[in-house]
Amino acid sequence: MEPLVEGERVYRDVFDGEVFQSWMDQGNIFQNSNDIALLIFVDGFEPKYVNNHTMTIVHCLIMSIDPSYR
């Protein structure tokens, strides 16, 4: 991994890590070119000004797409 230049902003995630790279080198994951890494967050909450209601947010990220396009 290249050293960080002072003041440079770099988006990093699990795909930059050594564990992920070793999995890729061993062929344990993403064996098919159509495989997709999907990250899903689910969060339930009660709106501040609405009583007796709950809402849920489902947020999905496609992690196998380059970070500059996410």
Give the pLDDT confidence of 3-56 residue by residue, as tens digits: 656 666 666 666 777 777 787 788 777 777 788 888 899 999 988 888 888 999
Q: Is the pLDDT of residue 60 over 60?
A: yes
Which residues, 6 or more positions from 70, have their beta carbon under 8 angstroms from its beta carbon?
61, 62, 63
Phi and psi, residue 67, nearest 5°: -55, -30
42 within 8 A of 56, measured Cβ to Cβ: yes
| pLDDT score at 4 | 58
Residue at 39: amino acid letter: L
Structure tokens at 68: 């500059």
| pLDDT score at 44 | 92
Structure tokens at 12: 């990093």
More confident of the two residues 22 and 58: 58
| pLDDT score at 5 | 64
Q: For tokens 């902003």, what's the residue?
A: 9
